[in-house]
Amino acid sequence: MIITIDGVDVEYDANTVFRTEVGKGKGAYKDIRYTEVGYPLTASRWYKGVNIGNGYKKRFVMIKDGKRTVICRKTS
């Protein structure tokens, strides 16, 4: 199936996992608890609902067949 998220066409299947990750400054990203879901619209809502500020950053990641793909990211 194909869905458009933030202007990017994303092809996914039943084994695809979507995650929202958050980091600060130049540090590494970390997964947010409970945001690893298999439905792109639910995962997209989690991503859009995360408020960032004061040097934080967030990204929306798709994991398909062991390959991580960053769909979109935002920094403050």
Residues 11-39, mean pLDDT to the nearest whole number = 88
**pLDDT greater than 90 at residue 63:** yes
What is the sign, positive or negative, of the torsion defined by CA atoms of 56, 44, 15, 62? negative
Residue ranges covered by each domain of the chain: 2-75
Whether 5 and 60 have beta carbons less than 8 Å apart is answered as yes
pTM score, whole prediction: 0.82
- State the DSSP code for 37: B
pLDDT computed for residue 38 by the predictor? 84
Whether 43 and 20 have beta carbons less than 8 Å apart is answered as yes
Distance CA 13, CA 50 (A): 25
Rounded percentage of the chain residues whose pLDDT exceeds 70: 100
Residues 44-58, mean pLDDT to the nearest whole number = 89
